Amino acid sequence: TYVVTENCIRCKYTDCVDVCPVDCFYEGPNFLVIHPDECIDCGLCEPECPAEAILSEDDLRDEQQPYVALNAELAELWPNINERKAPLADAEEWNGVADKLKYLER
C-alpha cells in the first residue's frame, strides 16, 4: 500500500487525489491519508505530490513507519476527497519544513 507522510502536513496540495483510480484519499484539516484497505498499489499518486510526501510502504524510512498506522487510523475518521482543490494558503512556505507532525490537526 502507499502512505502519505509528514511533508503533506500544512501543504495538502491534493494533486494526488486527481490521479487515484479508486478514490481512496481521506481529508483532514491540514493532511490527507490513504485508506490502506482500498489502495490498489498502482503507484500513480507518488510522482504527482509536489511535496514528495507519498511513498510505498516498502520504501518508508524508519522514522516514517508511524505513518502506516496514522493513515489507517485517520482514513476511518475523515471524509473521502475525490476532487483536487487549492493547496493550503502557505503550502509553499511549509513544503520541506522539518518536524511538522506536531502541527497535525484532527
Bridge pairing between strands 25-27 and 32-34: antiparallel
Report the 10 Å Cβ neighbour count for 42: 12
Q: Under the criterion CB under 6 A, does residue 8 sit at the interface with ligand F3S? A: yes
Q: How far is the CB of 62 from ligand F3S (least distance, A)?
A: 20
Q: Which stretch binds ligand SF4 (CB under 6 A): 20-28, 59-67, 79-87, 92-100?
A: 20-28
CA atoms within a 13 Å half-sphere pointing along the CA-CB vector of 44: 14
User: Which triple of cell numbers denotes residue 82?
Assistant: 475525490
Q: Which stretch binds ligand F3S (CB under 6 A): 6-14, 63-71, 72-80, 97-105?
A: 6-14
Q: Under the criterion CB under 6 A, does residue 26 sit at the interface with ligand SF4? A: no
Burial tier of 69 (Cβ tally within 10 Å: 0-12, 13-18, 19+):
exposed
Displacement of CA 54 from its chain's centroid (Å): 6
Q: Under the criterion CB under 6 A, does residue 39 sit at the interface with ligand F3S? A: no
Q: Under the criterion CB under 6 A, does residue 52 sit at the interface with ligand SF4? A: no
Instruction: Choose, by CB under 6 A, the member of 18, 37, 41, 93 that binds ligand SF4.
Output: 41
Q: Under the criterion CB under 6 A, does residue 72 sit at the interface with ligand SF4? A: no
